[in-house]
Structure 1
C-alpha cells in the first residue's frame, strides 16, 4: 500500500515537525564544525540518523527509506562521482608526466610584479584548476605556486581563497550546478544560465578585490587595467558558455580565455613600478620553455575542451539517443509507486516517481576519461603508468566519494520522506517574502558545514525550491542563490582553510586565516544578497523560468 507524506506529522504542527526533522542538519553541523569529524564518517552517520527520523517521525516504511537512500547514493556516484574521479585523473596525469611544471613556469614568467602574478595564478589559473579538478586542488596548487615564487605564506593562502570564487559553481566540469539540477529537477541548462548571470557579474570585480585585499586600495589601482582584463574576459566567456552550452565548460573555457587575454595584454602593458612584498624571501628561478613545450603541456586540457565541445553538439546527442547508450531503471525497486506526495505540495495525493538513468556514454565524466586516455599518448605515458595513476587517484578520492554518496543519499531521502518539504514550508511561514535574503545564507551555511558547494546543493536544493514555490517566487532564483551564496562559504569552510594551510605550510594557524577571510566572506555575502534581492523584486525577468519538478 502506498505511503503518503505528511509534512506536519508531529501533533499536526508544521513548525514542531520541522524542528525535530532538522536534527540531522544540526548533527552534521556538530559533527563537522564542533567535533571536527571526518566527512566520510559524519556523512554516513547523518544519513543513518535521517533514516531513523524518517521512520520514527513520518512513519515512512523502512524499505522505502533504505531504497531512497540507495537511489541517492547511486546517483551521487554515477554520474557525479564519475565526473570527479575522471577530472582528478586527468590532472594527475599531467603531474605524473612532469608537464604540470611547464604549465606553472609558463604562467610564472610573464611578470615580476607580485600583483600581476596573483592575477595570473590566484585568479585565472586557479579558476582553470577549479574547472578541471576542484576538490581543493585550485587553492592548494595556486597557493603552492605563489610560495614558490616568493610570496609570504599567509597572504598567499588568503588571496587564493578570495580569488577562487567565480568558477566554483561550474567546477569540476559543472558538478555543483548539475547536482542542483539533479536534486530539484530543474534542467541543467536553465540552472547554468541563472548561475552564469551571477558569477559573470562577480567575476568582473573579484580580481580587483583580490588585489585590494593583498596590497590595499591605492596599490591595487596601479594594476586596475590588468584586473579589468582578467575579470572582464573571464566574465564574458563564462556568461556566453553558461548561456549557450550548459554547466560543464564555463570555468574551463573562461579561465583559459582570461589567461590568454592577460598574457596578450601583458605584452603591451606592465605596471609603472614593480611591487613585491617587503618581507618576501628569494623568488625561485623560473625556467622558460619554448612555445612547443608549453603547447604540449597544455594539450590534455585542449583535448578536453575539444571533446567536451563535441559532446555538447546536437548531432552527438542525437546519435547517442539513437543508440540507447544509457543505463535505465524505470521503476526503482522498493520505492517507485510506494510514496505519495501530500497536501499542500499537491492538491490531492500523487505518486512520487522513482527512476534512475545514467547516460554513461554521453556523461561528462566519460568525455573526461576519453580525454585522459588520449592525453596519455601526447604525454608519452605507458599504459602501466596510467593505470597506476588511476589507482592512486581512486585511493586519493575514496573517502571523498563515500562522503559524496552519503550526503546525496541523505538529500534524496529528505525529498522522499517529506523532510525537505516540511523544512521548505516552515521557512515559507517564518520568513515570508524576506526569504530571498536567507537563500544565499543557507547556501553559505551548507558549504561551511560540508566544505562543498555540491553537498550544499544536495542538502538544501529541494528546500530552496519548495519554499520559493509556496511564496510565489521563481524557484530558479532561490536555487541559484543557494549556489551563489555557497561560494562565499568556501572562504571560511574549515576544509578549504585546512587545504590552504597545508599548501603554504601554516598547519596549526587555521584560526589566523579564518579571522582574515571571515570579513571578506561577509562583505561578499552582503553583495550577493543585494544582487538576489534585485533579481527577486526589481528585475525578476532577468532569470530564466523552469517548470516545477515532479
Structure 2
C-alpha cells in the first residue's frame, strides 16, 4: 500500500510543495504564456505529475500511471458523457432549424436591446451553460446578439460577463460532481453551499450587462427588468440546488427567470426602446460554424450554420420575413422541457432506485492507496452508474425529442457522430486534466500544497476563491479548476480550522469569475463576432468586471467563515 509523505523532498514541506507545483506551473505556463493548445498542455502536465510522483514521492510507477488512467476514465464518464450528449441535442435543433425559431422568439419579447441582452445572454446563456457548458454559451449567445443588431465588441463582452453565475452548475452540475469526487465531500453539500454564494452574484449580473450596453442611465431605465431577472434567477438557483436537484439548478433558474422577464414585459416596458447607434466597427456575422469552431477544442461546430454565411442585414431581413407558428415555437422549446421532465421523473422515489439499481462500484485495478494519515484512500473506488448517469438521461431526452422536432434517426445518428468529431480536442483535454488531478491527489502532491498553503491561517478564506479564479482563468473550465484545486482546498481547510466544504465550494464559486478572462473563452467570443486576433480588446473590457466580482466573492466567502454571515450556511452540512 502506497502512503504519501507530505515532506518527501529533503524533509522540507516548502521544498516538497514547490516540487508539487511543477505540474500546475507547466500547465499554466504552456497555456497562459506560450499559448500551447489545451490538449497538448494537459498531456504534458499529466506526464510531469507522474514523473514528480515517481521521483519526488517514491510512488510506484505502476500506481502512478494507473491513478492517471482512472482519472482519465472519470473524465470521460460521467463528465464528458454529459457534455457530448447535451451538445448532440443542441446540434439536432440546429439541423432541423428549430434553433433559429428559438432565437426569433427571443427577439419578439422586446425590441429594446438591453432587455434582449438580459434574456439572451443571461437567461438563455444560463440554459446553454446548464446543458453543455465548456464555452458553448459564449459562442452561441454572441452570434445571437449580433443577429439582433448588437455591435461586435459589445456582443462579445456581454456574452462573456453573462457567463458567470450559472457556471458552477454548468453541464448538469459537472463542476460540482467533479469537486465532490476529488474532495470526497458529498455532492449535495457542495451544491447547497455554492447555491448560497453564486445566487448573490446573480442579483447583480443583469444590471452589469445593461451598464455595459447603456451605462448608468440604462440601468435606471431597466431596473424593474434587471431586478426581476436577478431575484428570480437567484431564488430559483438557491431553492433548486438546496432542496430539489443540484443537476437541475441552472435549468430551473434560467427558465424561471426568463419566464418572469417575459411576463413583466406584458405589463411594463422601458419608456424608450434602446438600440445601439455608437460608432463601433461593424463586423458581419460569418457563421455559427466559425463561431463555435473556435477556441480550445471544447467547442461546437454545427452542420447548418445559424448565420448561413449571411451578413447582419440579410439575417435580420430573413428573420423579419419569417413567421413561426405557435406549434413551431413549441417544438423549438420542447427538447429543453423534455430534459427537465426526464430529470425530474428519474429523481422520484422508486424511479430513482430503478435507475440506480444497475450501478456498479469496484476497486480500480493496480491501485492500493492510503491517505497521508494512513487511512484507506477512496480514490481507487470507481462508481459506474451507467443507467442513472446524467449523460444517459440526456440520451433518453434526445431520443424522446427526435420525433417532436422532426429529425430522422439517420440524421440524428450523423449528428451524434459529428458531435464526437467536433469535441475531440475537448475530450482529450478533459481526460488529461482529470488524469493530472488524480495523480496529484493519489501521490500526495495536492496534500503537500494544501499543508503548505495552510500557513495563511484564517486568511486562506480570502485566498480560496482566488485559487478557483486562477484555475478557470488559465484552463477555461470550472470543472478543470475544481479537479486541480478541490483536494488542495480541503487539505488547507483542515490545517487552518476552516470548513472543508466551504473552502471547496469557494473554489467553484470563485472560479466562475475567471471564465470571462480565460484565453479559450476570449478566443471563442472574439471569433464568434468576427474579431479574431483582437482578443486583447475584449480582454480589457471584461477584466474589470472579473476582478470586481472576484473581490465581492472573496469578501462574501470570508464573511461566511465569521459570525457575520455564517448563518447563510445553516443546514448545508458544511
Same fold (TM over 0.5): yes
- Residue 325 of structure 1: which of 358, 369, 373 is its match? 358
Q: Partners of 2:566 and 2:269 in 1: how far apart?
A: 41
Q: Partners of 2:110 and 2:375 in 1: how far apart?
A: 63
Is 1:313–2:312 an aligned residue pair?
no
Contact 1:178–1:247 at 8 Å: present in 2 too?
no
Using the TM superposition, give the Cα deviation of residue 274 of structure 1 relative to its aligned residue in structure 2, in angstroms. Answer: 1.4
Using the TM superposition, give the Cα deviation of residue 547 of structure 1 relative to its aligned residue in structure 2, in angstroms. Answer: 7.9
Matches within 5 A, 1:259-270: 259-270=258-269
Q: Partners of 1:256 and 1:540 in 2: how far apart?
A: 30
Describe the SS at the equivalent of 1:339: coil
Q: Deviations over 1:68-117 (max 9, x none)?
A: 11111111111111111111111111111110100000001111111111
Is 1:406–2:432 an aligned residue pair?
yes
Between 1:412-421 and 1:273-282, the stretch displaced more is: 273-282
Give the equivalent residue in structure 1 for 2:49: 50
Change beyond 3 A, Cα 1:20–1:413: same
Contact 2:193–2:572 at 8 Å: present in 1 too?
no
Change beyond 3 A, Cα 1:547–1:50: farther
Matches within 5 A, 1:65-144: 65-144=64-143
Give the equivalent residue in structure 1 for 2:328: 293
Q: Partners of 1:219 and 1:374 in 2: how far apart?
A: 42
- Residue 511 of structure 2: which of 464, 481, 486 is its match? 486
Using the TM superposition, give the Cα deviation of residue 373 of structure 1 relative to its aligned residue in structure 2, in angstroms. Answer: 1.0
TM-score normalised by structure 2 residue count: 0.91
Give the equivalent residue in structure 1 for 2:457: 432
Describe the SS at the equivalent of 1:48: helix
Q: Deviations over 1:285-322 (max 9, x none)?
A: 4334232221111111111100011122222222234x
Instruction: Tell me which stretches of 4 or more aligned residues in structure 1 moved more than 3 Å.
Output: 279-283, 285-288, 544-548
Contact 2:201–2:549 at 8 Å: present in 1 too?
no
Give the equivalent residue in structure 2 for 1:31: 30
Give the equivalent residue in structure 2 for 1:334: 366
Give the equivalent residue in structure 1 for 2:537: 512
Change beyond 3 A, Cα 1:272–1:545: closer
Give the equivalent residue in structure 1 for 2:384: 358
Using the TM superposition, give the Cα deviation of residue 488 of structure 1 relative to its aligned residue in structure 2, in angstroms. Answer: 0.7
Describe the SS at the equivalent of 2:251: helix
Describe the SS at the equivalent of 2:370: strand
Contact 2:130–2:169 at 8 Å: present in 1 too?
yes
Describe the SS at the equivalent of 2:517: coil
Describe the SS at the equivalent of 2:87: helix
Describe the SS at the equivalent of 1:328: strand
Q: Partners of 1:428 and 1:90 in 2: how far apart?
A: 44
Between 1:282-291 and 1:513-522, the stretch displaced more is: 282-291
Change beyond 3 A, Cα 1:381–1:441: same
Using the TM superposition, give the Cα deviation of residue 506 of structure 1 relative to its aligned residue in structure 2, in angstroms. Answer: 0.5
Give the equivalent residue in structure 1 for 2:396: 370
Between 1:539-548 and 1:517-526, the stretch displaced more is: 539-548
Give the equivalent residue in structure 1 for 2:494: 469
Consecutive unaligned residues in structure 2, runs of 5 or more: 283-311
Between 1:276-285 and 1:83-92, the stretch displaced more is: 276-285
Using the TM superposition, give the Cα deviation of residue 543 of structure 1 relative to its aligned residue in structure 2, in angstroms. Answer: 2.1
Query: What root-mean-square deviation, in Å, do the aligned CA atoms of Structure 1 and Structure 2 show?
Result: 1.5
Is 1:11–2:10 an aligned residue pair?
yes
Describe the SS at the equivalent of 1:341: coil
Contact 2:86–2:132 at 8 Å: present in 1 too?
yes
Q: Partners of 2:76 and 2:572 in 1: how far apart?
A: 26
Q: Deviations over 1:339-358 (max 9, x none)?
A: 2223xxx3xx2222421111
**Count of residue correspondences:** 536
Describe the SS at the equivalent of 1:357: strand
Describe the SS at the equivalent of 2:196: helix
Give the equivalent residue in structure 1 for 2:525: 500
Using the TM superposition, give the Cα deviation of residue 39 of structure 1 relative to its aligned residue in structure 2, in angstroms. Answer: 1.2
Give the equivalent residue in structure 1 for 2:292: none
Q: Deviations over 1:247-282 (max 9, x none)?
A: 211111111111111111111111101111113777
Using the TM superposition, give the Cα deviation of residue 44 of structure 1 relative to its aligned residue in structure 2, in angstroms. Answer: 1.0
Contact 2:20–2:446 at 8 Å: present in 1 too?
no
Using the TM superposition, give the Cα deviation of residue 516 of structure 1 relative to its aligned residue in structure 2, in angstroms. Answer: 1.1
Q: Partners of 2:572 and 2:37 in 1: how far apart?
A: 37
Q: Partners of 1:475 and 1:288 in 2: how far apart?
A: 54
Change beyond 3 A, Cα 1:407–1:475: same
Using the TM superposition, give the Cα deviation of residue 544 of structure 1 relative to its aligned residue in structure 2, in angstroms. Answer: 5.7
Describe the SS at the equivalent of 1:314: coil
